[in-house]
Amino acid sequence: MPVKKLPDDNGTTLTVVDLDGYYLPILYELKDQEEEIRSLPNWKVRTDDVMICTYPKSGTHWLWEIVKMLVQKKAERIQTVKETAMLEMIAQEACDKIPSPRVLNSHVYFEYLPKDFVKGKCKIVYAMRNPKDVAVSFFHHHSNIIKYDFSGKWGDYVTRFLKGNVDYGSWFEYTRKWEKVMADNPDYPILATTFEDMKEDALREVTRIAKFLEVDCDQAFLQEVTDLCHFDKMKKEKNALEEQVDGWKDGKPGMYRKGDVGDWKNWFTVAHSEHFNSVYREKMKGSKVQPRFTLC
């Protein structure tokens, strides 16, 4: 896949790779990134696989940690990071070596996922986060990781995000695709949650996920998992592991930043917000999706 530098309106670029118009981050970990990505739909899955699907910066690390603990039935810190089970970041051979039950994750569009997921009806946990907070978090992600070679300004980034000129494409397209997948496949085992719901009542959502996964456990275990996966605790204990995955500009991992709902208010001007709202109404016209931009 060719490396592409996506410019904003002022010419500042963000470095990605281009898969037939679909942008992905450069993955130096893969010997042949294009071959692996193109082969993804044909990867074999197992009936006990659990798949976590999210747009970037939507609480994937948090959710993966929770699901891993539930599936393993152990309220213990997971001593690895989600990237080791992220479909687009590992080779098929490495994926095949992950012991069952596997908790996999991905940010790619549904059509890039292994077709066996549909045939085998493997369980999928889908999480959404409001796009304003996603935009702020993605801006910091792009600004702090070396391989993106990005030094753009926030004001220009808002427009970039709205246009989908980032890796993994448009939040709007990703969200609408998943809305359609769930509407067209009502019998498929997909549990939908949101970052905001998890922040509002983590124990409630952990309990929902455990029930969906058919994990036989008591309330005390669910509370232990919830406590271990509190954002501040995870930030402290997991950041050291994240250092092994990406090169950070300041040498400090930044995958866990604030984990708040409504941080966008500290970044969006009135003009930014009004423009964002206008584009949102246009892009999501007819959609039943209703993100929560605050918890108040």
Report how far residue 291's alpha carbon sits from residue 132's, in angstroms, rounded to the nearest whole number: 10
First to last CA, the chain: 44
Q: Are 162 and 171 in contact (CB under 8 A)?
A: no
The partner residues of 248 in beta bridges, in order of sequence, read 145
Report how far residue 113's alpha carbon sits from residue 56's, in angstroms, rounded to the nearest whole number: 16
Distances (CA, A) of 57 to 30, 40, 79, 93: 22, 22, 21, 27
The partner residues of 126 in beta bridges, in order of sequence, read 53, 192
Distances (CA, A) of 51 to 20, 64, 117, 118: 25, 9, 9, 11
Which of 33, 68, 195, 173 shows the shortest CA–CA distance to 111? 173
**Active-site residue flag, 107:** yes
Which residue of the set 61, 107, 141, 142 is catalytic?
Answer: 107
Q: At what angle do helices 171-184 and 131-144 cross, to 10 degrees?
A: 130
Report how far residue 115's alpha carbon sits from residue 51's, in angstroms, rounded to the nearest whole number: 13
Burial of residue 216 (CB within 10 Å: 0-12, 13-18, 19+) is exposed
Encoding tokens for residue 185?
A: 């496949």
Residue 222 sits at φ, ψ, to 5 deg, of -60, -40
Encoding tokens for residue 235?
A: 């930030």
Report how far residue 104's alpha carbon sits from residue 49's, in angstroms, rounded to the nearest whole number: 7
Residues tagged active-site: 107
